Amino acid sequence: MTVQTLFAASHHIYLGNAIWYLVIFAILMLLVKHYAWGPVSNMMEKRRQKIIDDLDSAASDRKKAETLANEREAALKDSRQEATKILSDAKENAQKTSSEIVANANTDAASIRKKAEEDAKKAKTEALDAARDQVADISVAIAEKIIAKNLSAEDQKDLVNQFIKGLND
């Protein structure tokens, strides 16, 4: 077969064959529409709807995540403020307690100082009273001895020295 015979055979299309091809094509189209196009369209529609739902769900989840992040940030900020407040309260309480302790210590020291001064005054008064009594006793003893005998200057010195020795014993 030559190229001319093939080319000439292809130009001879019969009308019966053309109608037959059209009928078969129409039947195939109906079968494809009924068995393939519908299920494929339904599957594509379901997939489209699933993608839309997934996008909506993702957007919703993103908004929830942003809300949670904002809430966590607010809670963190509140906890920081609360921690700062607790620290400032603790410092204030420590200063107040320190001031009270210092004031109490000063009051105690003042009362101890006052008592010590009173005790010192009392001891001084007692010492002076005891010294007066001793001086009076010494004076009486000296007067008795002087009255008992007339003393010379040397006798007086001896008498005083003896009395002083008696005090040391």
Average pLDDT of 50-75? 93
Which pLDDT score is estimated for 6?
45
Average pLDDT of 70-97? 91
Helix ranges restricted to H, 2-151: 3-10, 15-31, 38-148
Report DSSP state, residue 59. H
Integer Cα distance of 25 and 30 in angstroms: 9
Which one is predicted more confidently, 161 or 56? 56
Which pLDDT score is estimated for 28?
93
